[in-house]
Structure 1
């Protein structure tokens, strides 16, 4: 069955270009020309990936992304923007986007990004024959994309969970920000280390008893981060 891509953009020329090249690559497409229509389609139908413009009438792309993640819609999102701005980039990823592309772009690059995101999102995570990874009171269930701490179920964005899982699988090892960028965000975001810091901060808010004195995810000054058994 062909994979389905939802294109949410208000520029008809961009939509026509994307639609032609994405369908040529073997995908099915649907289109929304404003944020509210995009949000409705994304929540009422099933898609394998969403291409979401940052600036949209009705509801901005960042708000659409935020709403989808709050409603537990974990469809991968490729965000588009006319701005080459680090704040926009970090904000989009912080809200739960999986990748980021600045206009103007080549159709080949868009198709390549789509394929790369779908490959990453469809990867099975090895679990070492165990249903979960345990770090003290923190239990991580890779196949379910879930985690609990002291029997409380935690909620993460896709990237937060992938970062948490990577840290847990390398428990006790110091991991640089560039290592984490390469492993969790792939090559696309190497150098934007602030993205890692933002996501580490969000993880700490969810798993640490005291964010001022973290016991699970330690900062190793000048090097990066390390997950430890706190108890």
Structure 2
């Protein structure tokens, strides 16, 4: 049975593009232009995922998210927020609302689809195993020790400032998940990490069979770091298992 997704986006062109991509993946898509009707429509349609656009007023968005979490019929629905910069992510993470994941615009369609597939599947597992004390599908903000810096194989990571350089070249990781993924790889240098372990430890998701999320993000990370992404030097694939940061 096709999964239902609500899109709450004021930009009509963006809404059309997203809905077209998702319908091509056999999702049932409903586009809403007003945040005021989201809770009622969510109760009626029981979607697996709601995609919000940060262009909506922040106060309205926060109120809607809190209302969705407070309503038993919608509390376990995954929420994906489209933001315009990483600054907005920091602002939201310091607010009381709980967002399952973020995407920074402009959107990479492959990333959107990978994120949607993962959230829809993890959302199903959450709804089957509800807990009042935890929602394992929500990616928790990772807290790092203050002042920590890492240097390995020509790679320098300044954790406080979220800055990365490789052989003196500044690497811009404009998505927090890429920074978290790289840091986890470096801290487990030489260890073969399965996709399931990465989904659990970096994304905070439960195991998601068949998910391509890790592979997609690894490819982007290689494109940022490696001189020849097709023949990576730092991040190596262990066929049939996962990935390993070269020792």
Structure 1 unpaired stretches of 5+? 1-7, 19-33, 54-60, 80-87
| TM-aligned CA distance change 1:45 to 1:197, over 3 Å | same
Residue 100 of structure 2 corresponds to which residue in structure 1?
78
Residue 76 of structure 2 corresponds to which residue in structure 1?
none
CA distance in 2, matches of 1:102, 1:211: 33
Residue 26 of structure 1 corresponds to which residue in structure 2?
none
RMSD of Structure 2 on Structure 1 (CA)? 4.7
TM-score (norm 2): 0.54
Residue 91 of structure 1 corresponds to which residue in structure 2?
112
Q: Give how far 1:69 is off.
A: 4.7
SS in structure 2 at match of 1:184: helix
CA distance in 2, matches of 1:173, 1:41: 44
Residue 15 of structure 1 corresponds to which residue in structure 2?
39
TM-score (norm 1): 0.57
Matched, 1:137 2:160: no
Structure 2 unpaired stretches of 5+? 1-7, 9-30, 43-50, 69-78, 94-98, 102-108
Asked whether the 8 Å contact 2:185–2:245 carries over to 1, the reply is yes
| TM-aligned CA distance change 1:69 to 1:211, over 3 Å | farther
Alignment of structure 1 residues 1-231 onto 2, 5 Å? 10=32, 12=36, 14-15=38-39, 38-42=54-58, 65=82, 68-70=83-85, 72-74=87-89, 75=92, 77-78=99-100, 91=112, 94=115, 117=138, 120-121=140-141, 123-125=142-144, 127=145, 131-149=148-166, 150-229=168-247
CA distance in 1, matches of 2:150, 2:217: 20
Asked whether the 8 Å contact 2:193–2:243 carries over to 1, the reply is yes
Q: How many residues are matched?
A: 181
Q: Give how far 1:203 is off.
A: 0.3
| TM-aligned CA distance change 1:155 to 1:187, over 3 Å | closer
SS in structure 2 at match of 1:73: helix
